[in-house]
A and B are shown apart, each in its own frame.
Chain A
């Protein structure tokens, strides 16, 4: 696992203990305001403003509140949280303490991806160490009425449990299936209590922002997408790995950085993201253009795009929780359509119907999984129609 040499925000040096202690000297509103001023949006993929989420959780009524770290990292092609969990665990826990302070929660939970079980021991050691330093537990940093502790809960290997309400269901011991929203977890979450669910990277970024200031953070990125972001780069490039890059970077520039200039397409945002063809490499990675939770998969000139689409669709068929109709059966139908395309048996009319079905899935599925499941299919059909259709179809 490599990472960039340049230390921008997340990888910049920080004294965790000092940063946490001084942050806790701020009032709660001041702390949240700092985060708001930074313009930070959630790093888990959905891009919801972190300060707004915390404010809602802080304002929600409840004797018990929770802060949950979403460490289920299941999006194909992302592995940046793994790096953070291994090498920057103390920063993560400190960020969670800040969240607990901001929203008024005493309990934090790290929902750890089943495949990351091997990290658990080190994480526990970090927690223990921080308890020893009084950075966790009662009277943190000498504050009389502030206590916060964190425990780890192991996931069981379902991608859908990265979706925050399914994660909560799973925590409660149920099938990992997304809930209806509203109400959102910030008001009715784990055990019915106000809950803020945030990504690993989000917590760490907050720690840096509060220590070094919103202004400093905003010096990176674009107006709407402030700061830097971690990218997990994989696929047909010379230097795969985890990169910290400013938001708003063009795909072209990113490819230059990772040695993937000859790419034919780039999948931004993992299986649920979009497939950007070469002609669009000037587009930028930002919430206002092509957004991503961090996954960048590079497809070299010899990749068969139909195979790529099949691969993603198989993933969704396996990982759909099966709860709602459009996703449960739409994923299967699109996959069957891809097989038909491969055999040259898909008529243009049926292909159009499938694309229309894809739109239905986007708008009528219950959760983000089903809503984004057809993205790859739709963008590949749109951009590589001649490759996947014209060259194979025998039935026109």
Chain B
């Protein structure tokens, strides 16, 4: 192994190596000499691959070792010391999460010494943990609370602060930081630095003064935080949470003058059941519709409708860019980047501001929805838009920031009033006592409840690309997409690979459909693309986005792409910062499964076949995709923020 390769094990330059997992590589081939090590845990014999951590070895035996700083998605830290175990012959205990097994050993996971140490370490953490479980959103879903119960904490051995020692930081539209509840496990730090490569949070000071803080203790709302909320999903306590608008929403619901509509994104449906004890990957779309109505929402709409609309607009935008470049020989920015993930958008605005021209000017489905509700829908329903309150059920914390961007008022009002996360809606439903899993199913309201499978799969990484391709390929080639991609499944863009890449050769040229004729300046057909190779890519998680962006900067293969989908969250929206806690690769995979299964049941799986989309272009956005009106309502612009914050 060359040194370069070896160094990449430490991740990015900024990732502290102390948080490197064990750099002892886990043996891959069990048959290799010395690949398997014989160990004994609590009297049970077992053989594990060389390099396996004690924690993973114990899992194989169904032996539970408590953890706090460990998280499957993150590099190992080994700092909380509640996972300590006794290794025979060693003077000190070892952190099970961080100790790689490289020689035969005998391990005790719950000896007196072990239990005493764990309890002491818990007692110490509770010393400065100021918070009351009743008033904490993590009540009953808190790793610290669970451990305190499991270890029989019945009093505070080393004292307990009652007065808060930190001001709560509410400066961000998306994330609230209450460091009084922080136990310094640094999962958020590792999330932000290693997983997302944003680098907003770091440990500062030493010893008992250690805090988790932003650069120069600036308010979170003023730093380069992209609002992805990934840190919230990985915090074991209630120290990090999303900015919860449910009180305002209840008030709007109670207000007879207000017409409260909720649009629901695809990902929450595949996950919210987890808050009601259902296994991950159980879709509750239609039960949820009933629950929201019973909560008092006047209309329940499907964001997938505007996802389909986004595809129409974004695919058109791409075709316009291609035509400008290839036919009109104009200078146009390529690749085109998707813009539906507000975390990603802010990431680009901060770290790659010189690339804002590459971002599709399309608003995200959430924001398109807002402006459509307060214009087209208001008109159709005969309601004064000032009396409409639009709520967006989203898997995402960044959506809260997005709806507060000053430019998002094209309807003449705030297009989307509140971004509500899956967790917060679950809380609202629980407050009503409704038994979500057992509610009678019901449908979305018309007309904005019409959606296709293409809109649905927006929730998974690669979904936007797949949806766009299903439409673009059909329009450009004039051939049904399913004739090119079996079952309409575009497999290369699916899955959890961090960066995905695909090339498609355009086999034929179809006529330009009437709806696009204006946008494409009267072009008759797509012969200018015949034989061309369309290059696309997909990246999820901003660490992967960074890789692609750096490659583009260096003129690598991604700079030759035409279209790239970026999602700020690992796994795409299904793994969004507003989704139920906990999260793990298995949970995200199960949610993805649920979405792809549900989409098979839908009447259509191509955005341009959505009759409601047809209708809106006929009735309202009469000059077609990327036309004048849609530019006003459905498109936006960006801010070159940069990352110098002081």
Which residues of A are in contact with B by a Cβ distance under 8 Å?
A: 61-64, 158, 160, 165-166, 168-169, 172, 174-175, 177-180, 182-183, 188, 191-193, 316-326, 328-333, 336, 353, 356-357, 359-360, 362-366, 371
Contacts and interface: CB of A to CB of B under 8 A. Distances in A.
A165 B78 CA distance: 14
A180 B98 contact: yes
A366 B79 contact: yes
A316 B209 CA distance: 12
B95 interface: yes
A275 B477 CA distance: 85
B21 to A, nearest CB: 8
A169 B17 contact: yes
A322 B95 contact: no
A168 B20 CA distance: 13
Given A172-B17, A363-B113, 20 more contacts: A62-B6, A160-B206, A177-B16, A182-B24, A183-B22, A191-B3, A192-B10, A192-B17, A320-B207, A321-B206, A322-B207, A323-B18, A324-B78, A325-B183, A326-B124, A353-B157, A360-B116, A360-B121, A366-B78, A371-B92
A366 B95 contact: yes
A317 B121 contact: no
B157 A366 contact: no
| Contact residues on B (Cβ < 8 Å of other chain), bracket | 35 or more
B76 to A, nearest CB: 7
A362 B92 contact: yes
B91 interface: yes
B184 A322 contact: yes
**9 nearest interchain CB pairs?**
A322-B210, A329-B124, A332-B208, A320-B207, A180-B98, A360-B120, A364-B117, A174-B16, A192-B6
B203 interface: yes
Contact of B81 (A182, A321, A353, A365): A365
Contacts of A64: 3
Nearest to A353: B157
Contacts of A371: 92
A112 to B, nearest CB: 21
B157 A63 contact: no
Given A175-B16, A183-B23, A329-B127, A363 B79 contact: no
Given A180-B98, A182-B24, A371-B92, A318 B207 contact: yes
A329 B210 CA distance: 10
Contacts of A320: 206-208
Given A180-B76, A363-B113, A366-B79, A331 B120 contact: no
B124 A175 contact: no
B208 A364 contact: no
Contact of A325 (B9, B18, B20, B80): B80
Contacts of A174: 16-18
Mostly, the B contact residues are loop
A182 B16 contact: no
Nearest to B100: A182
Nearest to A335: B208
A179 B81 contact: no
Contacts of B16: 169, 174-175, 177
Contacts of B208: 317, 320, 322, 328-329, 331-332
A329 B125 contact: yes
A188 B92 contact: no
Q: Which of A64, A169, A325 has the most CB of B within 10 A?
A: A325
Contacts of A326: 81, 117, 120-121, 124
B18 A178 contact: yes
Contacts of B7: 191-192
Interface string B100-132: 101000000000010011001100110110000
A192 B3 contact: yes
Interface of B: 1-3, 6-7, 9-10, 16-18, 20, 22-24, 76-82, 84, 91-93, 95, 98-100, 102, 113, 116-117, 120-121, 124-125, 127-128, 157-159, 183-184, 203, 205-210
B71 to A, nearest CB: 15
A319 B207 contact: yes
Contacts of B128: 329
Contacts of B18: 165-166, 169, 174-175, 177-180, 323
A165 B18 CA distance: 8
Nearest to A188: B23
Given A177-B16, A329-B124, A362-B92, A322 B209 contact: yes
A325 B124 contact: yes
Q: Which of A168, A321, A360 has the most CB of B within 10 A?
A: A360
Contacts of B3: 62-64, 191-193
A356 B116 contact: yes
Contacts of B99: 180, 182
Contact of B207 (A182, A321, A356, A364): A321
A272 to B, nearest CB: 14
B20 A357 contact: no
Contacts of B23: 183, 188, 192
Contacts of A365: 81, 92
Contacts of B157: 353
Contacts of B205: 322
Contacts of B79: 323-325, 366
A317 B81 contact: no
A322 B203 contact: yes
A374 to B, nearest CB: 12
B65 to A, nearest CB: 13
A28 to B, nearest CB: 22
18 contacts: A64-B3, A177-B18, A180-B18, A180-B78, A180-B99, A183-B22, A183-B23, A320-B207, A320-B208, A324-B81, A328-B124, A330-B120, A336-B159, A357-B120, A357-B124, A360-B116, A363-B92, A364-B117
Contacts of A178: 18
Given A322-B184, A363-B117, A180 B22 contact: yes
Contacts of B102: 182
A33 B323 CA distance: 75
A337 to B, nearest CB: 9
A193 B1 CA distance: 11
A165 B98 CA distance: 15
A63 B17 contact: no
A317 B210 CA distance: 11
Contacts of B1: 61
Contacts of A363: 84, 91-93, 113, 117
A244 B398 CA distance: 65
A188 B100 CA distance: 14
Given A174-B17, A175-B16, A178-B18, A324 B80 contact: yes
Contact of B93 (A322, A331, A364): A364
A106 to B, nearest CB: 13
B22 A193 contact: no
B179 to A, nearest CB: 14
Nearest to B211: A322
Given A323-B79, A324-B80, A360-B120, A317 B207 contact: yes
Contacts of A316: 207
Contacts of A61: 1
Nearest to A179: B18
Contacts of B17: 168-169, 172, 174, 179, 192
A178 B92 CA distance: 16
Contacts of B210: 322-323, 328
A179 B99 CA distance: 11
